[in-house]
Amino acid sequence: MSNIIYKRVETERELLQILEIQRANVKLLLSDEVIKTEGFVSVKHTFDVLKRMNDACPHIIATHKEKVVGYALCMLNAFRNDVPTLIPMFEYMDGIIESKKLSKLHYLIMGQICIDKAYRKQGIFKKMYQYFKDELKSDFDAVVTEVNSKNARSSKAHQAVGFNILDVHTEEGEDWELMIWKWA
């Protein structure tokens, strides 16, 4: 689709639109069929946390006619305790990063990425990640994320962009793939 603009979040209105897309794609509210075919997000952020994360490192968004149609959240390590459901991921990630001798990398966390259902299968995910890399590679060596193994669509899409699986583990009955995309 043409006329998609990739940029950093600048307004509270854009943050609210991110939360709208997030709410529409949270796993708890989706059918098994939608989870399997469309993917899902696992975490619901509060406006306060989303804004503070953005103030520290502005999120990446895709817009069409000034409407947010996709987002990639930039999450610095400083926010590791601000989203309680992510604390186990951070604790596990620390051990893996250390064991793989990657602790010297200056990395950030992909806090979450999602494309509005009406805009999927148009290359926005890949272009948004390329913009993400272009914007952040001067400050970071890599980005780390965790994908639920049930979210095969997301796992494949991340690997197609350049992520590699560091490890697979189980947390609260769910299997997770810890992934890294090195830029340096």
What pLDDT, on the 0 to 100 scale, is given for residue 132?
96
Burial class (CB in 10 A: 0-12, 13-18, 19+), 90: middle
What pLDDT, on the 0 to 100 scale, is given for residue 1?
53
Q: Strands 142-148 and 174-182: what pairing? A: antiparallel
DSSP string for residues in 96-123? HHHHTT-TTS-EEEEEEEEE-GGG-SSS
* Rounded alpha-carbon distances, angstroms, from residue 132 to 65, 138, 172: 20, 11, 30
Q: How far apart are CA 120 and CA 155, in angstroms?
A: 15
Which domains occur in the chain, in start order?
A: 4-182 (3.40.630.30)
What pLDDT, on the 0 to 100 scale, is given for residue 102?
85
How would you write the pLDDT of the chain (184 residues) with one tens digit per residue? 569 999 999 999 999 999 999 988 777 766 677 767 676 777 788 999 999 999 999 999 999 999 999 999 999 999 989 988 888 888 888 899 888 888 889 999 998 999 999 999 999 999 999 999 999 999 999 999 999 888 888 899 999 999 999 999 998 888 999 999 999 7
Burial class (CB in 10 A: 0-12, 13-18, 19+), 39: buried
> Which residues are registered as beta bridge partners of 36?
none
Phi, psi of 182 (to 5 degrees): -85, 135
Q: What is the pTM of this model?
A: 0.90
Q: How far apart are CA 21 and CA 19, in angstroms?
A: 5
* Rounded alpha-carbon distances, angstroms, from residue 142 to 21, 25, 160, 168: 26, 26, 16, 19
Q: Residue 176: in which H helix or E strand, if any?
A: strand 174-182
Strands (E), 18-163: 60-64, 67-75, 107-115, 142-148
What pLDDT, on the 0 to 100 scale, is given for residue 150?
81
